[in-house]
Chains A and B, each alone.
Chain A
């Protein structure tokens, strides 16, 4: 059973701080990794994808991948109250995308 694990949270950070979200996965042959943001009552929205070891930056978001440790993370700099949402980590192996349970992030003004 391929697994993707996330701390359910909530992770509470003050406005302007860096939020760090983590995810581990069990299948070593996984190839592609994604972060989705889901606001309450809405569908998941793709915010980052990463395929190679290292960091990938997009605006205030940085995704980090370490395949040897089977670990992927998402950093959100200068966190805003509008970033309050559930963040889902997704791992693709072949054609299959497996989601973690999500981490609920709360950014307090």
Chain B
């Protein structure tokens, strides 16, 4: 079974630009979560989507948004990029419901550098 895939793997942008990251979950998984990881803040939860609906949201500004498609693929968008948005963005997919004992499996991540 193929794992979680994320594209692109690396991205360099300049301040003020916007970026869209893509995530394809494990086949059959319907829950997709996004995280931002930085050396100083660790792994921080951005949002979770299930059945095309945002089910949970972390404490990030409105510049961070996402969506999920009917095939469970998900995208996240960051508008008006700031230097502090430089991070590893991780997507994780989880089983049929995403809750309870459903385990989350991570993709390889997208390394975003904002200059």
Which A residues have a C-beta under 8 Å from some C-beta of B?
31-32, 34, 36, 42-46, 49, 51, 88, 90, 92, 94-102
Contacts and interface: CB of A to CB of B under 8 A. Distances in A.
Given A43-B90, A95-B98, A97-B33, A49 B45 contact: no
Contacts, number: 54
B interface, over-half SS = strand
7 contacts: A34-B103, A34-B104, A49-B101, A95-B56, A96-B45, A99-B45, A100-B42
A96 B109 CA distance: 20
B100 interface: yes
Contact of B43 (A46, A92, A96, A99): A99
Contacts of B55: 95
Contact of A94 (B92, B99, B105): B99
Nearest to A1: B59
B90 A49 contact: no
Interface in B8-59: 31, 33, 35, 42-43, 45, 48, 50, 55-56
B45 A31 contact: no
